[in-house]
Amino acid sequence: MKFFISLFILVIVVSCSTSQKNEIVIQELDYPEELNVITREAWGSAPLTKTLPQHEINKITLHHSGVEFKDQENVLTKIKNLQSWSRSEKEWIDIPYHFMIDLEGNIYEGRPINYPGATNTEYDPIGHALIEVMGNYEVQKINDKQLKAVIDLSAYLAQEFNVPAEEIKGHKDYSSQTVCPGEDLYKYLADGTIVAGVRERIEK
Ligand SMILES: [Zn+2]
């Protein structure tokens, strides 16, 4: 009898801890109106079904998708395809990035910010807020609207999570296996344009 009681208690303890571990928590951010963020709800993101240990943001890291993108009209199809590929092929919980920026500088929410992103390279994305600019900036050029969106979003995130401006970097700063975020985006990190723009917005 004693054995059955202990077994019963054990089952309760195990099921409580797993249900807590698997609970999906989504941190919703309160964006300023002028940032014009297209939320997951607005673009029709599929609800999360899996979870990960959460993290605290202390860095902002820029990416490109590495695939040429000129098809602005089909941007939502592209994002939804990325979501289903991430979940089914890669078995990630979601899109690897927290935000995506299209050719018009529109900002889309991706993976909820409280969960670390994902990567095919060797760096550890825990603590990083990941911003992806859609396209391949080894061959494409970043336009003014995209650059403005990168700076505006980085400034908002830096303030929201107390990230120092010098912690805004590119994927290749953490991994020698990639040229991401591509030459034409990385040059604005290298010449200080992005960090200076973020500082200017924060001081306002
Ligand atoms: Zn990257």
Query: 99, 154 in Cβ contact below 8 A?
Result: no
Residue percentage of the chain with pLDDT more than 70: 90
Q: In the chain, what are the domain boundaries?
A: 31-203
| Residue 138 C-beta-side C-alpha neighbours within 13 Å | 10
User: What is the radius of gyration, based on Cα positions, of the chain?
Assistant: 19
Torsion from C-alpha of 70, 76, 170, 163, nearest 10 degrees: 140
Task: State residue 6's pLDDT score.
Answer: 56
Name the 3-class secondary structure at 3.
helix
Task: State residue 121's pLDDT score.
Answer: 86
Segment holding 169, helix H or strand E: strand 168-170
Which residue ranges of the chain lie beneath pLDDT 50?
8-19
Sign of CA dihedral 141, 145, 148, 153: negative
Distance 6 CA to ligand 1 centre (A): 50
Summarize pLDDT for 34-69 with one digit per residue, the tens: 999 999 999 999 999 999 999 999 999 999 999 999
Distance 180 CA to ligand 1 centre (A): 5
Distance 12 CA to ligand 1 centre (A): 42
Distance 30 CA to ligand 1 centre (A): 26
Query: 35, 153 in Cβ contact below 8 A?
Result: yes
Task: State residue 204's pLDDT score.
Answer: 75
Sign of CA dihedral 179, 180, 186, 190: negative
The mean predicted confidence, pLDDT, of the chain is 91
What's the gap between Cα 192 and its chain centre? 22
Distance 47 CA to ligand 1 centre (A): 24
Q: Ligand 1 is a single-atom ion; what residues have CB below 5 A from it? A: 63, 171, 180
- Residue type at position 88: S
Distance 204 CA to ligand 1 centre (A): 30
Task: State residue 12's pLDDT score.
Answer: 44
Task: State residue 14's pLDDT score.
Answer: 43
CATH 3.10.20.30 fits 31-203, yes or no: no
